[in-house]
Structure 1
């Protein structure tokens, strides 16, 4: 799109004489960017550790004398490096999604500009450093730094999540070297780093001194392509200065710049085959791990090694609840292992290049990577993109610097299959310049950018949060046309990905299964990346985990920062468990009654030789037989049908299901043998409708009622703390509340406006017959004539009491209901739950793929899902019966007809809806039990589409029943 041009007088625009932290240049003094590598035989001295630190309120509050080697900093405090100073008692972090937390007046920043001065003293470890050059390397500093070594200024730099190096050999001395840094929170670079995150300044990645002996590697570029037709790889390593490359396993010994073609096994995310090699120059030996693969867009499809790939991806910010973006190697490794264990095969590095060690892990474990530049200018969107830096030529050198530092650092990683120009920057000449530079430097990888619908600068069509219907149209190459016919034809010929979809905020996301079926149906649709990997809740002594506003920020975006598939402590959420099920790379289907199963290999490259298959036959949730299933090593896309054996005990009466599982056949770097990859359940014998039992006088039921109100008082001697009542309210989820910019109706707002959180019950009648008690109530919110007329019909069931609930809506309901069922309160001692139904975790109508039928146990406390921002959670689906018992085994059993949704918690729905942090929820002396006939779906409307129509709970005439009985001794 066209953006308004800046028509302000030049005198108010960037001009010479600005301080370095406001100048639009990327800085000065640093060396050209080059490839990163984890190790070599050249010496390396880590400067991580405790540094001296002081904080000033402005950029100019202190002079530069602290950089002199003789300056006395003994009175300063200490700060670990890497770290963010706001997480160590110096100021506070602040969260915004889109808006800049300072006036938008580029390139100027506020006078109030927290500035941290840092000093560290170090000795050279040996005399070897006295020959050759040395380089100071900074992996990441936010947002602008000025650097001195032994009193000599080295330069300045911006680009927070990108490396910068300085030549320092002539300045080093054997002992007492003093490195001084001044780091500003705000700079012109901040305008390029508006990336939906906590604003946290500091030296948050590694700092190191690298010895560069004479003849050491200045830079190198590994070109390792794969010809899928010939089964060969072609290797060439460019290097300055020249040297040799040896690959012992392939028998290669090449001069740099020389090519060789040999038979190889290709690299892919599914089979991450790497070859150990050594790059040797006159002064250095660098270990290489080479993966042969070719990425191309052919016939409108993104292919690797000649095959279409399907991204089952996540967006990943770097985050740790105690350390912010200062993420250590073991945490990175844990992320990668968790991704692999949950069938995730791709990462978009939103919205900046990650710590380079993360990409090494992606190479080794196998993950496709979209490597995204450290660039976002989203805060200009509310201003109509006026003065957007990416459309201002004066900022182009800074943009090109960021593109170059990403590409040069990461160019040797086979995991990186696309370069991304950045995120949510609008459009402009600067982006085109970046795309042109990247294509010239590395034509082997396609280019991604979502923010330009014309796709003028990219090779793939990318969108965020397109709903299911639009995604299907795109899959059919029938999307709405662009005005320009040539651009429209070019875009329509591109592959499509959802670079963000399925917003994982709070309870959800819903609709994943429907998206995945579209991705698998249409060749053009090549998957997507769930937003996002982890909740960014910062550890907080009062709130447990803090979000926007918890540190006193005046401008913030609340708990929108908590939108991940992992909780802040890296515990998988139900959303991640659901996603794992939805994106299973092996499809297991079949007909349980016919005892047949169909196995389909959904991998793009791997066969099924790495998996073992097994079956279990269960009756009423109890296993009666199990065994192995012989599945041949089917190739990608291949399928076959198998007959399941007839198990001993198959004639046992009751509901019966087959469970068929695919597990790892051997240990992998990311999981042990036996780890479950895919599963399904097939109904062998369907559930019979529960028998009502003998019908006698209600007095023989063991239940007591208040005949004035018809309320249940006790069952079998178990007292009701609160009798069963019709319930329609739930604590709205983040997706119920929706996002302001979403066009769909935000049901949380509608429900509150209608008053569903404060419905009133009017007793209409109580009628007692010889064999039944019938209570009619009208349930309605104030100020409207809408209502639900409920009839509770109680009868005896021998040792219990049966309740049939009939609901008749009155009026024209404008919205779906949050839930429809009964709520009751039982004594707090009944804290042990057992049920036969869906589990082990929570599920809702559009998040139930991972819910499997079985017998499950839990404490009531463990039934809760600990979302950072409290909301509706913890429902179990398809429940046939559920029990709550105390430690002595006494309690209540509920059986449903049909199956029901079961929720139990130690606080009311109203308490849950009023809470803002986990510690706000305090257990009371009652367990509140929801027995729901139906519940509303979840959707993804916190940033994406709402609940699909088939998962909405419409107000309609309904009937359902429960049987309640006491269990254990009275």
Structure 2
């Protein structure tokens, strides 16, 4: 057995310790290293660890980096399957290997430590020709004592990194496989303090705190702002402290001193406890408005620079996200320092996942294999010891999707003994035998409600069932993002508010993992020629890879609002949904708009409301009028914060004060149909084909007319399902032929003031059809269509939409509309949209999902105007419709694999939908809620063109 196949944790590594800021001398070894790549171990460079080895012909590579991002090997994306034969602890001979060399000058010799913060997946390390050891555990730090080897002046560091190792079997996370030295490398002088463990508790009943710092005996602890001077190991009681929370992240600067070293700390006083089945921090129930966060950079791969770490957290805070699960490994430790500073509840997760064994019914799972016992426990120890001093970390997680087994039990037992101040989490064992929190992935709304009532399906063991039923409940993953969706977020939030036991969860997931290619396009699974991959499943985030928010992130911000605003007759009711914070940092602003045009605005006095409380304020009186009037009230930051400027919106509500005006489509018909020159039919500004009844001309524009649409370009959610026994919507729609409808004209008649077109719409191989009757009228300037659709035969699939499409000249460039905006809105994903008047270009209406799919619909459109070199066209609905406008057909959108596949044609395609199917989240097993499940049904709708 090779050293990289040994199932143990490695050798030569120092005991793990906390990541701290110390004044001991240090040298960063980041930078340009010499690099040799081989497709297998046999091709690695013999003797490269020798000091006199000639590496002058080698290439250079930056450290930290992931070598596939620099053209060596290739990225591989899998979710569940291992991209190597499952034969633990062995790996194939084809094991990509990178040899690294660095010549550096050390300004000292003597007691020193060499630290690697992350190497994927196994490394063997030499300094000055002397082997230091072997490390596994890719996203965990490793330190080596180099005191006897380091020289003042010239030194040669050699590192051999293997992509595959026994550790790979413990690292089957849903992400790109990207080997290399991807985190910092540092040389540090070694001084007296080997570790520091801070215990800073808060008593919410008295407002006092206690502080205990475990470290070298005789060290002195100082907290100047609290007048604390104490010896290490001494428990200090402090009569009054300000507690730390994700909402008010109060930190105290402290130092721990010995004669030869000073460690700087940022201490947060807080106490985590489970009381009567509820998870509390500082005596208050907390509600996780969280996300799962992978570490990813579209250019650098696994390397995430500090400025991007901060930017990620700022975008989260600005969208009301208050919690992070570090899926599925410890993050760069600088992220946790930022979470302490900016304020996040953190579930810190071990670098541990064996998901590929699920496909083998968990046969041979390392989580229950005694050969992997030491490595399993080692990973948990390195997580806890590194991150134990961060107040933001309020929960330890054993890992993810690793089944159940004795090694997980041992990890839990050690963690609970080492740090009883934090609960232990793990979702994979539903008995919850080793954990403190009941956790599920992707439970449906109905299941969450049952759990909230503590009425979930019982376990076979009554003792374990009673224990689990008494636990708080967290959704460690829910509402799987990915492309256009998910829907149903407000309904989950309502359950979290209703049931005390349900304490929120962590959306899957924060960021799309697209990899930026030199041509400016983004790659996903399969784009690098992988023999095994999971395609677009890696595109499952709330933000694009460059941190641009996707439309769903606005839905998240709305669902996660920390204050709830409700307009009642004459008053605004305000509910404070913060965990601990009052509303003194907020102000209220209001605006009146008539048919989308602002007519008045002002501010309201924000009462100071304690967390969990309610209050009302009087609204300004406004005169009645006959235009459609909307009142919008916004809660905004009153002053600048560390994460947003004054005026940043935290919450909003919108209420209609006067009803919609009578739509223009009610105008009486003023002209009758004509048959000019025996060709077709003319009605006002429109001409129709006498044979098919389709609109062929409107004003001076030629028109392509699709009289009924039932299909959409499938979203990523349409194309996936959690249940292997159930077909996804994309497949069901394809089997039913919704994408290949055929139209049979039943009749085209001029009846009085109307052109009446009856069309039977069906598809090959089935008798499921739709009888469509369209009655066209005109006032001389505009055309009005009254449409009736009626299903015929036996339909076995839902419809994607009920609408009609017009192909217009490409000269239309701009769109102004009165309806929901400014972004897209779908039936179960529209909470963030507000009624107003908006203007956009056709191009900007599109959402650039990395895998093209249905997108860009504007909902509840009362009217819209298209303009450009082609002229001007007004559309209106009765009372309103959904509208998409794009430069390619639905079929072209559906067949495109990447954005660059979409090429504008000579038409602008406008689809007006009366009904739409919801987005849902079937990717993660949550069935679409009934109101948004568009089952075949008779329906009438009306629209006007002119």
- The TM-score, its normalising length taken from structure 1, stands at 0.95
Q: Secondary structure in 2 aligned to 1:189?
A: helix
Q: Does 1:210 align with 2:167?
A: no
Q: Which residue of 2 aligns with 1:15?
A: none
Report the count of equivalent residues.
935
- The farther-off stretch of 595-604 and 291-300 is 595-604
Partners of 1:715 and 1:922 lie apart in 2 by: 25
Q: Which residue of 1 aligns with 2:27?
A: 45
Match of 1:727 among 709, 727, 734: 709
Q: Which residue of 1 aligns with 2:231?
A: 255
Q: Secondary structure in 2 aligned to 1:219?
A: coil
Contact 2:128 2:156 survives alignment (8 Å): yes
Q: Does 1:576 align with 2:553?
A: yes
Q: Does 1:289 align with 2:266?
A: yes
Match of 1:172 among 137, 140, 150: 150
Match of 2:650 among 677, 688, 711: 677
Q: Secondary structure in 2 aligned to 1:581?
A: helix
Q: Which residue of 2 aligns with 1:429?
A: 406
- The farther-off stretch of 50-59 and 682-691 is 682-691
Contact 1:543 1:919 survives alignment (8 Å): no
Partners of 1:492 and 1:740 lie apart in 2 by: 26
Q: Which residue of 1 aligns with 2:602?
A: 627
Match of 2:288 among 305, 311, 318: 311
Q: Which residue of 2 aligns with 1:13?
A: none
Q: In the TM superposition, what is the alpha-carbon distance from 1:63 to its structure 2 partner?
A: 5.3
Q: Secondary structure in 1 aligned to 2:904?
A: coil
Q: In the TM superposition, what is the alpha-carbon distance from 1:739 to its structure 2 partner?
A: 2.4
Q: In the TM superposition, what is the alpha-carbon distance from 1:541 to its structure 2 partner?
A: 3.8
Contact 1:906 1:924 survives alignment (8 Å): yes
Partners of 1:720 and 1:315 lie apart in 2 by: 50
Partners of 2:790 and 2:348 lie apart in 1 by: 55
Q: Does 1:762 align with 2:744?
A: yes
- The farther-off stretch of 266-275 and 255-264 is 255-264
Q: Does 1:94 align with 2:76?
A: yes
Q: Which residue of 2 aligns with 1:842?
A: 824
Q: Does 1:773 align with 2:755?
A: yes
- The TM-score, its normalising length taken from structure 2, stands at 0.97
Q: In the TM superposition, what is the alpha-carbon distance from 1:755 to its structure 2 partner?
A: 0.3
Deviations along 1:724-773, whole A, 9 cap, x unmatched?
52111101111112225355552221110010000001111111133111
Q: In the TM superposition, what is the alpha-carbon distance from 1:278 to its structure 2 partner?
A: 1.1
Partners of 1:704 and 1:690 lie apart in 2 by: 23
Q: In the TM superposition, what is the alpha-carbon distance from 1:61 to its structure 2 partner?
A: 3.2
Q: Secondary structure in 2 aligned to 1:112?
A: coil
Contact 2:9 2:374 survives alignment (8 Å): yes
Q: In the TM superposition, what is the alpha-carbon distance from 1:141 to its structure 2 partner?
A: 0.1
Partners of 1:115 and 1:702 lie apart in 2 by: 71
Q: Which residue of 1 aligns with 2:166?
A: 188
Q: Which residue of 2 aligns with 1:227?
A: 203
Partners of 1:743 and 1:885 lie apart in 2 by: 48
- The farther-off stretch of 133-142 and 944-953 is 944-953
Partners of 2:649 and 2:599 lie apart in 1 by: 21
Contact 1:53 1:76 survives alignment (8 Å): yes
* Runs of at least 5 residues in structure 1 that lack an aligned partner in the other structure: 1-17, 966-970
**5 Å matches for 1:759-838?**
759-838=741-820
**5 Å matches for 1:454-533?**
454-533=431-510
Q: In the TM superposition, what is the alpha-carbon distance from 1:723 to its structure 2 partner?
A: 2.4
Q: Which residue of 2 aligns with 1:566?
A: 543
Match of 1:618 among 593, 600, 615: 593
Q: Secondary structure in 2 aligned to 1:434?
A: helix
Partners of 1:724 and 1:913 lie apart in 2 by: 17
Q: Which residue of 2 aligns with 1:3?
A: none
Q: Which residue of 2 aligns with 1:200?
A: 178
Match of 1:30 among 13, 16, 28: 13
Distance 1:742-1:631 versus aligned 2 partners, 3 A rule: farther
Contact 2:771 2:791 survives alignment (8 Å): yes
Contact 1:833 1:885 survives alignment (8 Å): yes
Q: In the TM superposition, what is the alpha-carbon distance from 1:398 to its structure 2 partner?
A: 0.4
Q: Which residue of 2 aligns with 1:419?
A: 396
Partners of 1:645 and 1:742 lie apart in 2 by: 56
Q: Does 1:142 align with 2:120?
A: yes
Q: Secondary structure in 2 aligned to 1:942?
A: helix
Contact 1:617 1:625 survives alignment (8 Å): yes
Contact 1:716 1:800 survives alignment (8 Å): no
Q: Secondary structure in 1 aligned to 2:447?
A: helix
Match of 1:707 among 683, 690, 695: 690
Contact 1:818 1:935 survives alignment (8 Å): yes
Partners of 2:507 and 2:864 lie apart in 1 by: 34
Q: In the TM superposition, what is the alpha-carbon distance from 1:569 to its structure 2 partner?
A: 1.6
Q: In the TM superposition, what is the alpha-carbon distance from 1:953 to its structure 2 partner?
A: 1.2
Q: Which residue of 1 aligns with 2:129?
A: 151
Q: Does 1:696 align with 2:631?
A: no
Contact 1:715 1:800 survives alignment (8 Å): no
Q: Secondary structure in 2 aligned to 1:176?
A: strand
Q: Secondary structure in 1 aligned to 2:314?
A: helix
Deviations along 1:652-680, whole A, 9 cap, x unmatched?
42111110001111111111111111001
Q: In the TM superposition, what is the alpha-carbon distance from 1:707 to its structure 2 partner?
A: 3.3
Partners of 2:908 and 2:188 lie apart in 1 by: 61
Contact 2:326 2:349 survives alignment (8 Å): yes
Partners of 1:625 and 1:563 lie apart in 2 by: 41
Match of 1:962 among 919, 939, 943: 943
Deviations along 1:544-603, whole A, 9 cap, x unmatched?
111111111111111111111111121111111111111111101123xx3322110000
Q: Which residue of 1 aligns with 2:320?
A: 343
Contact 1:833 1:857 survives alignment (8 Å): yes
Q: Does 1:133 align with 2:111?
A: yes
Partners of 1:270 and 1:756 lie apart in 2 by: 49
- The farther-off stretch of 178-187 and 953-962 is 953-962
Partners of 1:815 and 1:686 lie apart in 2 by: 36
Partners of 2:660 and 2:706 lie apart in 1 by: 26
- The farther-off stretch of 197-206 and 166-175 is 166-175
Partners of 2:669 and 2:903 lie apart in 1 by: 42
Superposed CA RMSD in Å reads 1.3
Q: Secondary structure in 2 aligned to 1:444?
A: coil
Q: Secondary structure in 2 aligned to 1:113?
A: coil
Contact 2:671 2:779 survives alignment (8 Å): no
Partners of 1:440 and 1:896 lie apart in 2 by: 65
Deviations along 1:488-531, whole A, 9 cap, x unmatched?
00000000011000000111011111111001100000001110
Partners of 1:488 and 1:688 lie apart in 2 by: 58
